[in-house]
Amino acid sequence: MAEKIKLGVYGAGRGEYLVASAELNGFELTAICDYSEPLLRRAKRKYADRKIAFYSDYDDFLSHDFDAVIVANYATEHADAAIKAMASGRHVMSECMAMFTMAEGVRLVEAVERYGKVYFFAENYPFMRQNLEMARLYQSGDLGRFLYGEGEYIHPSTVDQRVFLVSGPKHWRSWLPVTYYCTHSMGPVMLITGTTPVQVNGLIVPHDFDDAGNGPGSIKIDDCMSILMCTMDNGALAKIMPCAKLKDHGNRCRICCNKGSMEWGQGHDGILRVHREPFDCPEGTARNSYYHPTWPEGFEIAGSQGHGGADYFTTHYFAQAIREGGKPKIDVYMATAMTAIGIQGYKSALQGGAPMEVPDFRKQEVRERYRHDEWNPDPARHRKGYPLSSILGKIEISEESLALFTAKRKAYEEGL
Ligand X SMILES: NC(=O)c1ccc[n+]([C@@H]2O[C@H](COP(=O)([O-])OP(=O)(O)OC[C@H]3O[C@@H](n4cnc5c(N)ncnc54)[C@H](O)[C@@H]3O)[C@@H](O)[C@H]2O)c1
Q: Residue 75: helix, strand or coil by DSSP? A: helix
Q: Is 34 in the site for ligand X (CB under 6 A)?
A: yes
Q: Is 75 in the site for ligand X (CB under 6 A)?
A: yes
Q: Is 223 in the site for ligand X (CB under 6 A)?
A: no
Cα separation, 256 vs 254, in Å, equals 7
Q: Is 13 in the site for ligand X (CB under 6 A)?
A: yes
| Interacting residues with ligand X between 50 and 69 (CB under 6 A) | 56, 58
Among 5, 22, 32, 39, which residue interacts with ligand X (rule: CB under 6 A)? 39
Q: Is 177 in the site for ligand X (CB under 6 A)?
A: no
Q: Is 74 in the site for ligand X (CB under 6 A)?
A: yes
- Looking at beta carbons only, is 152 or 367 nearer to ligand X? 152
With CA atoms as reference, report the closest residue to 395 among 222, 162, 171, 216: 222
Q: Is 11 in the site for ligand X (CB under 6 A)?
A: yes
Among 25, 73, 185, 261, which residue interacts with ligand X (rule: CB under 6 A)? 73
In the bound complex, which residue of the shown chain has the CB atom lying closest to ligand X?
13
Among 33, 79, 92, 182, which residue interacts with ligand X (rule: CB under 6 A)? 33
DSSP string, 336-353: HHHHHHHHHHHHHHHTTT
Question: Which one of 28-36, 137-145, 269-277, 355-363 is the stretch in contact with ligand X (CB under 6 A)?
Answer: 28-36
Q: Residue 370: helix, strand or coil by DSSP? A: helix
Residue 37: exposure state from Cβ atoms within 10 A (0-12, 13-18, ≥19): exposed
Cβ–Cβ under 8 Å, residues 337 and 360: yes
Q: Is 36 in the site for ligand X (CB under 6 A)?
A: yes
Cα separation, 125 vs 37, in Å, equals 30
- Looking at beta carbons only, is 37 or 368 nearer to ligand X? 37
Q: Is 14 in the site for ligand X (CB under 6 A)?
A: yes
List CB contacts of 215: < 8 A, sequence separation 6 or more.
397, 398, 401
Among 19, 67, 95, 118, which residue interacts with ligand X (rule: CB under 6 A)? 95
Least separation in angstroms between CB 36 and ligand X: 4
The dihedral built from the CA positions of residue 154, 156, 161 and 164, taken in this order, carries a sign that is positive
Residue 66 C-beta-side C-alpha neighbours within 13 Å: 26
The site map against ligand X for 116-145 (x = CB under 6 A) is: --------x---------------------
Among 6, 107, 259, 307, which residue interacts with ligand X (rule: CB under 6 A)? 307
Q: Is 226 in the site for ligand X (CB under 6 A)?
A: no
- Looking at beta carbons only, is 11 or 215 nearer to ligand X? 11
- Write the single-letter amino acid at 142: D
Among 12, 32, 109, 204, which residue interacts with ligand X (rule: CB under 6 A)? 12
**HEC per residue, 371-382:** CCCCCCCCHHHC
75 CA to centre of own chain: 9
- Write the single-letter amino acid at 149: G
Q: Is 43 in the site for ligand X (CB under 6 A)?
A: no
Cα separation, 7 vs 173, in Å, equals 27
DSSP 272: E
| Interacting residues with ligand X between 244 and 283 (CB under 6 A) | none
Binding site for ligand X (CB under 6 A): 11-14, 33-36, 39, 56, 58, 72-75, 95-96, 124, 165, 307
